[in-house]
Amino acid sequence: MNPYVSFSIPAQAEYLDIVRLTLYSFATKAGFSFEEIEDMKVAVSEACNNAILHAYGDNENGRIDLRLEHDGEHLRITIKDHGQSFVFSQEGIGIPKQQEDIKDLTVGGLGIFLMEALMDDVRVSTGNGSGTEIVLSKRLSRNGEYV
């Protein structure tokens, strides 16, 4: 059985430090470098912020479920909300197109792009109003400055 940690937080920004501290501890034990951990912390923070801002809006009763799992090669981080979901392919989210003028880019919408830039794999699943699940994966490189 792969080592894992599973927990839930209220969907409020002031609880994100718990996510980052837990990720730091778990990734350190798995052998990830300081730089890799910092990249993962940014990506996970973006995913959680998306849940807070878009899934729950003004509803302060929402929660975010997280699972960190290490299989010896990869660290997989699952972030699941139970709020309003969206159709990922129809939202126009992702890597900005090269021909797009910078002034035409909207505020926000770069969270998924940032996650894709920092992680080795990003998978987004949405349901019919049943929330959104994001699975982030980072391969253990065994290079760099280790914690």
pLDDT attached to residue 141: 86
pLDDT attached to residue 104: 58
Break the chain into its structural domains and give their ranges.
Answer: 4-139
More confident residue, 109 or 56: 56
107 Cβ contact list (under 8 Å, min separation 6): none
What is the average pLDDT across 41-70?
92
The CATH fold of domain 4-139: Heat Shock Protein 90 (3.30.565)
What is the average pLDDT across 17-23?
98
Token digits for 107? 């505020």
Condensed to tens digits (0 to 9), the pLDDT of residues 61-78 reads 899 999 999 999 999 999
Dihedral angle, C-alpha 136, 97, 132, 63, nearest 10 °: 80
Q: Residue 129: left (phi > 0), alpha (psi -120 to 50), or beta?
A: left
Instruction: Output the average pLDDT for the chain.
Output: 86
